[in-house]
């Protein structure tokens, strides 16, 4: 199918709130040379309700059904509740309970290092809840990546063996509610923060690269990036060229964004070599989460 037809079909599906396989299906997730169906690992989905409007796939059953139709075998699932709810521990427990209903979903706990007791929340994520990653919203929770609280969190996450996901943005600044307007997270201090914590692994979510990244960010191999908000038909390839294919992971930001969009950019438009494509859509995430020493 042509890109325009794919996108128009996907957008009509999203607007109607209907899950359909007409726009993109598991059987179409093939490598460029037809080498076989890809098994996709989506590192960036969220459950429950976005606080400011209803989304077409904000019921877990509908989201999982669509992911299955698209060939997503695993997904790291955070919680929209973690953005504004004050009790992250309760948010994480609800999330873990919901994810337990679906074999594809791996829960990702929210940690707010500005609130009392965040250390216990992190320990619960790594211990009782059996999570492999945590997700941070620095702009909504009011701290910068050069903050000592962020450094303390990285140290504890490294000790616990947790991947740290940093959401640069959740929504375009132009569409935010006027009473909850937050800028994108400044990634400038991130390389130094990561460099000071041996063993920590960080994934940047929802960044929209504008030009080249600073050298320090390019040089820090323990920082990886998802593809959810890259622009253009060559966006994934450009990100690969900047940071290397080993540091690019598939992420859709579903259900805020339709998952088909990221798949089209990655599988159908990127022009990646087969080994690069397989690593980006699944292998790199498997390595970060399951092959850590």
Residue 168 lies in a domain: yes
**Residue 195 token pair:** 């460099």
Residue 25 lies in a domain: no
Residues 170-203 have pLDDT tens digits of 999 999 999 999 999 999 999 999 999 999 999 9
**Residues 169, 207: contact at Cβ < 8 Å?**
yes
Residue 45 lies in a domain: yes
pLDDT of residue 215: 95
How far from 88 is each of 108, 115, 171, CA to CA, in Å? 12, 9, 21
Tokens 């873990």 belong to: 96
Among the listed residues 221, 204, 105, the one whose alpha carbon sits nearest the alpha carbon of residue 163: 204
Residue 20 lies in a domain: no
Domain count across the chain? 1
Residue 117 sits in a domain whose CATH number is: 3.20.20.140
**Residues 216, 191: contact at Cβ < 8 Å?**
yes
Residues of the chain short of pLDDT 70, as ranges, are 1-36, 292-293
Residue 126 lies in a domain: yes
Would you report the helix, strand and coil content of the chain in percent, each value rounded to 5? 40, 15, 45
pLDDT of residue 211: 81
Q: Which domain holds residue 120?
A: 36-175+183-290
Among the listed residues 106, 109, 170, the one whose alpha carbon sits nearest the alpha carbon of residue 138: 170
Reduced to 3 states (helix: H, G, I; strand: E, B; else coil), residue 153 is: helix
Residue 167 lies in a domain: yes
Residue 18 lies in a domain: no
């Amino acid at each position: 199918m042509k890109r325009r037809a794919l996108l128009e079909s996907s957008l009509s599906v999203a607007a109607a709130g209907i899950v359909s396989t007409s726009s993109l299906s598991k059987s179409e997730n093939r490598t460029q040379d037809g080498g076989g169906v890809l098994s996709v690992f989506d590192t960036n989905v969220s459950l429950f309700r976005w606080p400011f409007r209803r989304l077409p796939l904000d019921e877990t059953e509908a989201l999982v059904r669509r992911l299955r139709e698209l060939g997503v075998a695993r997904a790291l699932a955070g919680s929209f509740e973690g953005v504004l709810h004050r009790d992250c521990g309760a948010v994480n427990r609800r999330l873990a309970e919901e994810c337990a209903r679906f074999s594809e979903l791996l829960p990702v706990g929210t940690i707010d290092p500005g609130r009392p007791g965040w250390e216990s929340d992190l320990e619960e994520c790594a211990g009782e809840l059996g999570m492999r990653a945590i997700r941070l919203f620095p702009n909504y929770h009011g701290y910068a990546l050069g903050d000592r609280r962020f450094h303390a969190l990285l140290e504890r996450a490294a000790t616990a063996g947790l991947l740290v996901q940093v959401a640069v943005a959740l929504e375009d600044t132009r569409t935010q509610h006027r009473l909850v307007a937050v800028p994108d997270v400044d990634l400038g201090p991130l390389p130094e923060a990561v460099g000071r914590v041996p063993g920590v692994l960080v994934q940047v979510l929802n960044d929209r690269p504008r030009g080249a990244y600073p050298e320090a960010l390019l040089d820090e191999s323990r920082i990886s990036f998802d593809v959810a908000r890259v622009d253009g038909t060559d966006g994934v390839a450009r990100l690969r060229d900047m940071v290397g294919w080993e540091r690019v992971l598939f992420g859709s930001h579903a259900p805020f964004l339709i998952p088909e969009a990221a798949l089209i950019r990655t599988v159908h438009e990127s022009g990646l070599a087969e080994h690069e494509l397989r690593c980006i859509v699944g292998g790199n995430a498997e390595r970060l989460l399951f092959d850590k020493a």
